[in-house]
Amino acid sequence: MVLLIGADRLGNISDVLHQRGFSEQVHVKGRKPNAQRGWDTSRGDIRLVVLFTDFLGHNVMQRFRRLAKQNGIPFVACRRSVVSLSQALDRLDQCTGCSGCSNHGDRDSSD
């Protein structure tokens, strides 16, 4: 499952994720604080967290990045566009298994 955080509409984003093998997606718009708090990233079925940076506040992004790192879930932060998401997923594919990558939680960074 992919947890998508931010944006009101996804457009063709779902198609890109389906092509990459992510058939199940959950979208949290990020506007309402209750919806933001309602997702537990420690659930075992979340394989990726996608943060749409042009639709999220800093605190919301920080919270989900921290939770993803704590639970060893890869995450990408990108603009809400097919091209931006594809590029972010390509970078993630290239660094999978590397050491010291912030997407894998191996390195502490100041959030």
Task: Give CA–CA dist 79/58, Å, rounded.
Answer: 14
Task: Give CA–CA dist 71/83, Å, rounded.
Answer: 27
Summarize pLDDT for 18-41 with one digit per residue, the tens. 999 999 998 888 676 666 665 666
Quick one: CA dihedral 86, 97, 39, 22, positive or negative? positive
Domains and CATH numbers, the chain: 2-104 (3.40.50)
Task: Give CA–CA dist 37/26, Å, rounded.
Answer: 14
Under 8 Å between Cβ of 9 and 35: no
Summarize pLDDT for 53-65 with one digit per residue, the tens. 887 778 888 888 8
Summarize pLDDT for 42-100 with one digit per residue, the tens. 667 889 999 998 877 788 888 888 888 888 889 999 999 999 999 999 998 887 655 44
- The CA–CA distances, whole Å, from 72 to 16, 60, 64, 79, 100 equal 23, 18, 12, 23, 13
pTM: 0.80
Task: Give CA–CA dist 22/44, Å, rounded.
Answer: 15
